[in-house]
Structure 1
Amino acid sequence: MDLKDSIINQIENIKKELVKLSNDIHNNPELAFQEFEAVENITNLLSSHGFEVEKGIGGISTAFRGEYNGRRKGPTIAFLAEYDALPGIGHGCGHNLIATMSVGAAIGLSKIADRIDGNIVVLGTPAEEGGGGKILMIKEGIFDNVDYALMIHPSTRNLICRGGLATRGMIVEYFGKSAHSASPEDGINALQAVIQTFNGIDHLRATLPLKANINGIITDGGKASNIIPDYASCKFSIRADTVKDLKDVNDCIERIVESVEILTGARSKVSKSLVYTERYPNKTMAEEFKKNITKFSEIMEYPEPNMKYGSSDIGNVSLLVPTIHSYLKIADAGTVSHSIDFTKASISDRAHEQMIKGAKSLAMTGFDIFDSEDLRESIYKEFKENVPKYREKDLK
């Protein structure tokens, strides 16, 4: 039997186990860094199929590594699992499917490990939805021994080589002086400082780099309308085409904050989240995935040049190793990601059928990489030519 056919059959044999795993994760949504039951369910299944599992890697309680070794030394291919949910709507991003596709792919490949030179790995990466789990794992060296990273994201379209914007969050707090509204001259209005911060951003918005976007909310504006607030705060989400552009936007906001301090007399404190970098999907690897999934009557497309992108910490991984983060259609156009409708779609029979196709195609792509030295060289040639090298200070 052809080895790819064998992989397909092996994944088909564990279809019920995979659907159960997806349902279990979906039915018990856990937020960033609290995904304890998801980790137990995933690692128990991997262990039952002979994977060596280590939990709590990189000092993160809900990160894990499952590994199955081939017959001899060779490259390490990591299938990345995400399993955190969204507040209020559960798995409205379909992370139950992401995790299960990666687990299914790894188990399917492991069944022919006696024909593979290298290591099959599942990396459990928590807190993609704002916590930057992959970034923390990178800092702890978890990706140092990984040569290729693969995953699939559920979507309303079949896409390869879709990019992603660089992003970070920023919290700005202002500290003023309380006073009664009858004598406002005795106070320093922290809320006015917040308002002027928004005004300053709006005034300079036209000068921001192309594709840059700033969205903000007031998180604290005072306690009573007849009291000058001595404390107020706001929170911003910043996106940009590249890390360089993101830094330019970041610097712009900090200059505005400094000006607001002078204008209002309030003191400021700026807190910044981790930087999610832009994404560099490996086209060579993605084309192999595209060829493999046609076996299941799925046609992958490229995104339009002007397509709007979101952000993910997979971008940081794509700076380190050749990476694919392909998109597989589980719902019709009009079903918005990060919504209750997508939460429902991610547990449907249709989604699970697509999930099995995705697991098989990922596994077949992994096999292609193990099987062809020429393919590996082509993947790394593209990686070295197209992916920039950022310094540590660029990501602060």
Structure 2
Amino acid sequence: MSEQIYSDPEIAFNEVRSAERIVEMLRGEGAAVTAPAWGLPTAFVADTGSARPCLALFSEYDALPLVGHACGHNLIAAWSVVSFLALQDVSDILGIRVRLIGSPAEESGAGKQLIMDQGGLNDVDWAAMVHPAPQDVLLPNVLAMSRFYARYLGVEAHAAAFPWRGRNAADAATVAETAIGLLRQQMHPSDRVHTARRTSESAVNVIPDRAAIECMVRSTDDGALESLKTRVLDCFQAGATATGTELHAEPAAPDYAAMQHDLSLAALFRHAGREAEIDFLESEPLEAAGSGLVTISTDMGNISRRVPSIHPMIGIPTNSVNHQAAFADACAGPEARAWIRRTAIATVLFAGRLTPREQT
């Protein structure tokens, strides 16, 4: 299933075949699955066990444009299924209930927040996600993130005969990108700003009257994020002011919250990981939560604001890093299958430690 999803990447909210493959496998193993769920066509949910304390595992399966599963979500999908099916046999013995939530659009859409808005976590006590990475990191640095579009509206004109009659929207975007580049000199080291032009089909001899930039802003917490976002929007307004164009900014998705790692759960997963040959660095102390070697943003941060949560990164042998095409290549084949196995083993052992009852 993992390699089928890897070979057939689908981007946010369009993961139709990926979700179908996961649901089909779950049902084939006797799981009761609701699909679609929470009003999202590519979301699903499955529950097992009858006890009250509930552990939610999140499945992700959306890919990135152009580079496919360069973040390894095909492995996350497989990990979640293997872990859920293993726990399906022992959840009542362990005294817990397990919920598998298929959450679309982690890369660009905040599917988990949309699920939470529809009550998907109303009876959940703990939540867990794992993620492939170049190394093992128990407490990754998960920043708050906001994503929006900045669109400029100018006036078209013949670029040679009447250039003074035009208002160049592409120039407005250039001014904004330059201002953001200069702003980076005064940004906090943990802050991040990324931009990507959304292409125009304007002819070269027509002054472009439209331009669009997608922007992603990240910072350490919600307050710092709002402050940085205000400064970045000022840069976009500078582009409009300099060129006489109009700026229209609009959110592209719900904001992602900074992760609040639950240290008690993280300690349990560290011990479980050792038994599965996942060696988190002892130099990564629990009291330094969020200062890990990997910096990301994820809608799992939103989940952590609602229930105690963890999001460890599990290493896969590769010289590449997430969001490179070579990392996607590392997420298929024997090493990838070994990653699924040891990560699922760690998760099942972790689940067995969630209650104080004697377990076997």
TM-score (norm 1): 0.82
Q: Deviations over 1:106-162 (max 9, x none)?
A: 221221234243321111111111122112112222122211111211122122111
What residue number does 2:82 align with?
Answer: 104
Q: CA deviation at 1:308?
A: 4.8
What residue number does 1:13 align with?
Answer: none
For 2:305, which of 305, 316, 319 is the aligned residue?
A: 319
Contact 1:102–1:362 (8 Å) recurs in 2: no
For 2:61, which of 65, 77, 83 is the aligned residue?
A: 83
Q: CA deviation at 1:218?
A: 3.0
Question: What SS does the corresponding residue of 1:179 show, helix, strand or coil?
Answer: coil
What residue number does 1:389 align with?
Answer: none
Distance 1:220 1:155, change over 3 A: closer
Equivalent residues in 2 for 1:341-352 (5 A)? 341-352=326-337
Q: CA deviation at 1:49?
A: 3.3
Structure 2, unaligned runs of 5 or more: none
Contact 1:222–1:230 (8 Å) recurs in 2: no
Equivalent residues in 2 for 1:159-238 (5 A)? 159-181=137-159, 182-220=161-199, 223-238=202-217
Distance 1:317 1:306, change over 3 A: closer
Q: CA deviation at 1:77?
A: 0.6
CA distance in 2, matches of 1:350, 1:194: 43
Distance 1:372 1:166, change over 3 A: farther
TM-score (norm 2): 0.89
Amino acid in structure 1 at the alignment position of 2:70: G
Spell out structure 1 runs of 4+ moving beyond 4 A: 303-306
* Alignment pair present for 1:362 and 2:340: no
For 1:254, which of 225, 230, 233 is the aligned residue?
A: 233
Q: CA deviation at 1:32?
A: 1.6
Distance 1:356 1:126, change over 3 A: same
Distance 1:232 1:121, change over 3 A: same
Contact 2:141–2:292 (8 Å) recurs in 1: no
CA distance in 1, matches of 2:248, 2:211: 11
Amino acid in structure 2 at the alignment position of 1:100: A
* Greater helix share, structure number: 1
Contact 2:158–2:206 (8 Å) recurs in 1: yes
Higher mean alpha-carbon deviation, 34-43 vs 218-227, is at 218-227
Q: What is the percent sequence identity of the aligned residues?
A: 28
Q: Deviations over 1:211-264 (max 9, x none)?
A: 222222332467233332222222222221222121112111223334444443
Distance 1:289 1:308, change over 3 A: closer
Amino acid in structure 2 at the alignment position of 1:127: A
Q: Deviations over 1:302-338 (max 9, x none)?
A: 3894735021111111111111111222213x22222
Amino acid in structure 1 at the alignment position of 2:228: V
Contact 2:146–2:216 (8 Å) recurs in 1: yes
For 1:244, which of 207, 217, 223 is the aligned residue?
A: 223
Considering only aligned residues, what root-mean-square deviation do their CA atoms show, in Å? 2.3
CA distance in 1, matches of 2:143, 2:345: 29
Q: CA deviation at 1:30?
A: 2.0
* Alignment pair present for 1:336 and 2:321: yes
Q: CA deviation at 1:173?
A: 1.2
Question: What SS does the corresponding residue of 1:31 show, helix, strand or coil?
Answer: coil
CA distance in 1, matches of 2:228, 2:185: 12
Equivalent residues in 2 for 1:9-28 (5 A)? 21-28=1-8
Q: CA deviation at 1:80?
A: 0.9
Distance 1:339 1:247, change over 3 A: same
Amino acid in structure 2 at the alignment position of 1:191: A
For 2:99, which of 118, 121, 124 is the aligned residue?
A: 121
For 1:283, which of 240, 263, 268 is the aligned residue?
A: 263
CA distance in 2, matches of 1:53, 1:220: 41
Higher mean alpha-carbon deviation, 277-286 vs 44-53, is at 44-53
Contact 2:12–2:62 (8 Å) recurs in 1: yes
For 1:299, which of 260, 274, 279 is the aligned residue?
A: 279
Q: Deviations over 1:253-282 (max 9, x none)?
A: 223334444443211111222211211222
CA distance in 1, matches of 2:11, 2:261: 27
Question: What SS does the corresponding residue of 1:199 show, helix, strand or coil?
Answer: helix
CA distance in 2, matches of 1:86, 1:220: 18
CA distance in 1, matches of 2:55, 2:228: 36
Amino acid in structure 1 at the alignment position of 2:117: K
